[in-house]
Structure 1
Amino acid sequence: MTLDPVIRLRLSTMMFLEFFVWGAWFVTLGTYLAADLGASGSQIALAFLTQSLGAILAPFIVGLIADRWFAAQRILGVLHLFSAVMLFLAGRQGDFGAFFVFALLAMISFMPTLALANSISFRRLTSPERQFPAIRVFGTIGWIVAGLLIGWLGWEAGGALENTFVMAAIGSALLGVYAFTLPHTPPEPGQGRVTVRDVLGLDALALLKSRSYLVFFLASILICIPLAFYYNFTNLYLNEIGVQSAAAVQSLGQVSEALFLLVMPLMLRKLGVKRTLLIGMLAWALRYALFAFGDAGSLLWLVIIGLVLHGVCYDFFFVAGQIYTDRFAPKHVRSAAQGLISLATYGVGLLIGSLISGPIVDAFLAADGTHDWRTIWLIPAALAVGVALFFAALFRERETVEAAEVPQGA
């Protein structure tokens, strides 16, 4: 059944604005904090930790509130309007402590909107597996456009990154208003009583009885530790070594993410789950090694390749992992399994990574205010190799769903 073009346009616009808001301030956050607020590496990591805290709290907001009492598009609108105010105020603070409070409130309100946007989309699609990628790709485009705007306006070179919070606030306010015009998406009829156990996906814990799924689960948490180095410090690194329009250059990663997403089904068929996931993990190690030995001069091509590898890093592990989880889990716990893996990665894994990455970056700060980036990047490269070896040695792809059979009453 063909999707109504008007619905397609409205959902695509929602996705564009959703990720435009995120990319408008989060990419350059480390550079802004270091340059404007004089933040240390540990403080920068703490600021990025707001994403993890928001991810941990998001299931409670969506699962215990939106899924029970309110229409999804209304919650989406309210959260984005509140987030717009918090983002605007965050960019007006003169010290890190006050900034952190507003950034945390902004992220607590923003992270649940990712699930809400997906929910609104899935409820309107006639064939989600076929139609959703074409809708979701506009989110990636929104992130890219935000980075290109920052570069075009010269806010990094001009020391005007406080404007990114204004841009993000405007985008969030626009989406907040626009959300109230989206198709009505009330709670599912017969939803029943949703418990904390449901929200945390605890019924999916029985999947961990399978050694292979347990290995995958642990590897998903562990790979997010080196991942935090990329999210937290790449923009600061690019600006510090002298890459022009760093945010715009960094958007090459999202371009590759969109392209590699299209070949993901083929890769899984040709390579299988284990090889695909291993390629994703090893790509993280290669990327960090390229960053370690690249520069803004004759070796800029190493940095560019490292950025373009983002599509392999993200799609070949995280997207492939989501598909693997959907295949592995019995039908009655698939949603819980996806929720559990998201909580483990974006919540626990990135939280640990943020706590580790900040002190490491601070440890290699020179007296002139620059960093020993070669040593810094080789640390997450080694961590990624270690996770890949752990996964390669212990993961067995041939284990079937029956090996992790979950009783209906679990």
Structure 2
Amino acid sequence: MNVTTRFKLSAMMFLEFFIWGAWFVTLGPFLGSTLHATGAQTGAVFSTQSWGAIIAPFIIGLIADRYFNAERILGVLHIIGAILMYQMYKAADIAVFYPYVLGYMVIYMPTLALVNSVSFNQMKDPEKEFSSIRIFGTIGWIIAGLAISYLFHWDSPEGITAGLLQKTFLMAGIASLILGLFSFTLPATPPKTTTGKVSVSSMLGLDALKLLKDKNFLVFFIASILICIPLAFYYQNASAFLTDIKVDNPTGKMTIGQISEVLFLLCLPIFFKKFGFKWTILVGMAAWAIRYALFAYGNATDLSFMLIIGIALHGVCYDFFFVSGQIYTDSKAGEQYKSAAQGMITLATYGIGMLIGFYIAGLISDSYNSAAGHDWKMIWLIPAGIAAVVFLLFTVFFKDSAKVQLEEPKGRLEV
């Protein structure tokens, strides 16, 4: 890969995740402080990510893979995204805001696959080359968080009171417009499928449902859905929680989670090889329970270190469960169903699991909210308990002791 192409792909990844990190992390505090949304309304807004994940395969399967170059679709979607971001920036209440955020997530989620397609098309050995490009996405997310906290101070108590979190959508919209225009300069990535029918079951990964006949894979599949319930609590409540208890520069501090993800990803092969899949994934589950317990009993003063440790556990929570789960799925699927199996797991977790999780998180937030404020201790202890129950169920029912080949599936999207 020549230097110019590498620079373009790296810049594409940086902007792709800078956009997401520029508004999604502070979405919870913005909804509560500026739009005065209830817990249920906040859950509905966050669940637009899941609807986007469910609809994304249709956009990719019916359009990108069949008719148009990936980089051109990427450009069009981000330009439309910039317009929707501007409308979100101007929205004065939740009723006006919701349709725009739903539309935005429906067009943003497919771009996660498109940037990977553009990247892979330029690589001779994606397993070796992709990580050095993808890392710029994580850097983009981190830079967005640091800018909000330490450069603009939008998430400070004064900034929140003044409604400055609204500017995060303007920043994301500008970045989206830049990436939209920049995408038309990216290397050509023509469609690979021009003939033949594309079935709905194939696009959603449902062709891999026969894997559920394997009892152990079925246990893993159900556990993957259930563990996304506590995951939703983190996405929906973490930033609002840190802001509410007056932690300094909360958005900047939450970037510790992305830094830890990179570090623990390097540790994963060693742990995986030594202890195997079951213990690796159990450590990931346990980390969710521990993290939420730390949030429940930590505070912004003398016990603030507990909050920092909880944020830093993001690398263990995500890498040891989700990445190792992708590896396990890849090993079980076989050549015929590799892509379908990954699609099925993505639909189950970021689709079904997160939808359920955001709904429950919204109800719990409302149930433990009063004139005195949120009872954050209970709001965090409940997902900690859910994670602990999933841990116990997986320990008892998952019996697979077969060796799993350590090969990270291509195209990991999440941050």
The reply to whether residue 247 of structure 1 matches residue 251 of structure 2 is yes
Q: Residues 23, 89 of structure 1: CA spacing in aligned structure 2 closer, same or farther, 3 A cutoff?
A: same
Looking at structure 2, the residues matched to 271 and 398 of structure 1 have their Cα atoms a distance apart, in angstroms, of 10
Taking the aligned partners of 2:249 and 2:280, their CA distance within structure 1 comes to 33
Retained in 1: the 8 A contact 2:276–2:403?
A: no
Unmatched runs of 5 consecutive residues or more in structure 1: 402-410
CA displacement at 1:7 relative to structure 2: 2.2
Q: Which shows bigger deviation, 130-139 or 31-40? A: 130-139
Give yes or no for contact 1:64–1:195 (8 Å, CA) kept in 2.
no
The aligned amino acid for 2:83 is: V
RMSD value, Cα? 1.3
Aligned to 1:404: none
Residue number among 226, 231, 234 corresponding to 1:230 in the alignment: 234
User: In the alignment, which residue of structure 1 is the partner of 2:383?
Assistant: 380
Instruction: Find the counterpart in structure 2 of residue 407 from structure 1.
Output: none
> 1-side partners of 2:195 and 2:219: how far apart?
33
**What is the CA–CA distance in structure 1 between the aligned matches of 2:120 and 2:360, rounded to whole Å?**
37
**Superposition deviation, residue 10 in structure 1:** 1.5
Give the conservation status (yes or no) of the 8 Å contact 2:11–2:136. Answer: yes
Counterpart of 1:330 in 2: which secondary structure? helix
Partner amino acid for 1:154? H
Does the Cα contact within 8 Å between 2:6 and 2:133 map onto a contact in 1? yes
Distance in 2 (alpha carbons) for counterparts of 1:124 and 1:324? 27
Structure 2 equivalent of residue 121 of structure 1 = 119
2:309 matched to 1:305? yes
Contact in 2 for aligned 1:54/1:107 (Cα 8 Å): yes
Partner amino acid for 2:3? P
Give the distance between the partners of 2:111 and 2:55, measured in 1 at CA.
12
Q: Verify the 8 A CA contact 1:232 1:354 in the aligned structure 2.
A: yes
Q: What is the DSSP-based 3-state SS (H/G/I as helix, E as strand, rest coil) of the residue aligned with 2:47?
A: helix
1:10 aligns to what? Answer: 8
Amino acid at match of 1:250: M
Q: Is the 8 A contact 1:67 1:191 kept in 2?
A: no
Q: CA deviation at 1:190?
A: 6.1
Task: Tell me the CA shift for residue 388 of structure 1.
Answer: 1.0
What does residue 84 of structure 1 align with? Answer: 82
The aligned counterpart of 2:138 is 140
Which residue number in structure 1 is paired with residue 56 of structure 2? 58
Q: AA paired with 2:209?
A: L
Identity %: 54
Q: Secondary structure at the match of 1:27?
A: coil
For 2:332, the equivalent position in structure 1 comes to 328
**How far apart, CA to CA, are the structure 2 residues paired with 1:197 and 1:205?**
10
Partner of 1:175: 179
The answer to whether the Cα contact below 8 Å between 1:284 and 1:384 also exists between their aligned partners in 2 is yes
Aligned with residue 287 of structure 1, among 291, 300, 306: 291
Task: Report deviation, 1:186.
Answer: 0.7
Q: Which residue matches 1:44?
A: 42
Shift of 1:200: 1.3
Tell me how far apart the structure 1 counterparts of residues 51 and 177 of structure 2 sit (CA, whole Å): 22
Q: Does the Cα contact within 8 Å between 2:294 and 2:306 map onto a contact in 1?
A: yes
TM-score for the superposition, normalised by structure 2: 0.94
Tell me if the contact between 2:66 and 2:193 (Cα under 8 Å) persists in the aligned partners: no
Q: Which amino acid aligns with 2:132?
A: A
Aligned equivalents of 2:5 and 2:290: distance in 1?
41
Q: Which stretches in structure 2 are left out of the alignment for 5+ residues?
A: 405-415
